[in-house]
Amino acid sequence: MVTELLEIGGKIIDRVVPDQAERDRQKMELRRMEQDGALKDLEVRMSAIVMEAQSKDPWTSRARPSFLYVMYAMILAAVPMGICSAISPSTAVAVADGMQAWLSAIPTEMWTLFGVGYLGYTGARTWDKRTQAKR
């Protein structure tokens, strides 16, 4: 929607303003306003993440890290699976097939949510650490 408004605003400026230099200046101002809005939106989202992390409610403040710990545990499960494969390859194959079927059953949207949550969490932690270091 913002992109459409930017295009419409550019067309209006082209029709209304006769001077090319003034048109360019007004279009740049329009783009600057759009960028300021996008940065403000990002700032609002980041502040919400930080507020959740600082919440006194243990579920709210620990939900993202707990989810990451579960994912780490699943990744670390590869070590015993390697040992199982050395001892009984058929058992390891059966377990791996079962895990693959289970992981394939998870919708793509959930994997996307995990990726976004992971990036959001690490970004918020980095931002939080930098702002606390400046204080």
- Residue 89 covered by a domain: no
Tell me the pTM. 0.35
Query: What is the mean pLDDT of the segment spanning 76-99?
Result: 88
- Residue 27 covered by a domain: yes
DSSP reduced 3-state for 13: helix
CA separation for the pair 96, 94 (Å, rounded): 5
CA separation for the pair 97, 103 (Å, rounded): 10
> Which residues span the domain enclosing 17?
1-54
- Residue 102 covered by a domain: no
- Residue 132 covered by a domain: no
pLDDT in tens, 6-41: 677 777 778 888 888 888 888 888 778 777 766 566
Q: Is the pLDDT at 100 greater than 80, yes or no? A: yes
pLDDT in tens, 44-69: 666 766 776 666 766 555 666 777 78
- Residue 22 covered by a domain: yes
Total domains present in the chain: 1
- Residue 129 covered by a domain: no
Residues 64 and 117: beta-carbon distance below 8 Å:
yes
Structure token pair of residue 102: 């289970």
- Residue 123 covered by a domain: no
- Residue 125 covered by a domain: no
